[in-house]
Amino acid sequence: AAGAAGGSFGAALHFLVKEEGDDLGYEDDYPVENVQIATGDYMFPRALPPNQFKSSFEQLAAQGAESMQKLSLNFKSLEAAVDGIVQTLNMEPCDKTGKVEAGVRGHTLLLSGTFLGGHSCLVKVLVGMDPQHGCVAKLACRSKSAAVSEVVTRALM
């Protein structure tokens, strides 16, 4: 998990073209879109049974590793921030926290997923809109692997 590479990689198809009756043929290249790999590509969203997040999160506090990060995010609304965080981390919202109530200034998002290698991962994100700083968030990730917790926490930076 510590080596969870991300970024954009160039890609091209390199092949040998042969016409019928032509034994030699010629080499050709065909460029294709760049391949994007992000932290969310290492994650499998996994739903928890209703109301199980809190007990699982507390259990990981005792047996696992936690990584925390305070962030300033580039979103114009709480709804956009919640959707963006869910999409970036590629995790499953728990206990109906994937939807933001209308008119609130803050929201708690609870996420669950399995990181590459079978590492269960739980994330609690407090998201708010601040008049001076815009969209701010405090993210806590718990997993049995300190490296996984660190990688997931850094995904939104």
- The C-alpha R_g of the chain, in whole angstroms, comes to 21
Mean pLDDT, residues 113-123:
95
Mean pLDDT, residues 94-120:
95
Is 30 found in the same domain as 101? no
pTM: 0.84
Answer yes or no: is 1 within a domain: no
Is 122 found in the same domain as 90? yes
Is 145 found in the same domain as 109? yes
pLDDT at position 3 = 54
Please state whether 41 falls in left (phi above 0), alpha (psi between -120 and 50) or beta.
alpha
Domain ranges, residue 13: 7-37
Say how many domains are in the chain.
Answer: 2
Answer yes or no: is 2 within a domain: no
Confidence of residue 86 (pLDDT cuts 50, 70, 90): very high
Is 49 found in the same domain as 33? no
User: 137: helix, coil or strand?
Assistant: strand
46 vs 157, higher pLDDT: 46
Is 60 found in the same domain as 21? no
pLDDT at position 1 = 45
Is 117 found in the same domain as 98? yes
Work out the mean pLDDT of the chain and round it to a whole number: 92
Is 26 found in the same domain as 87? no
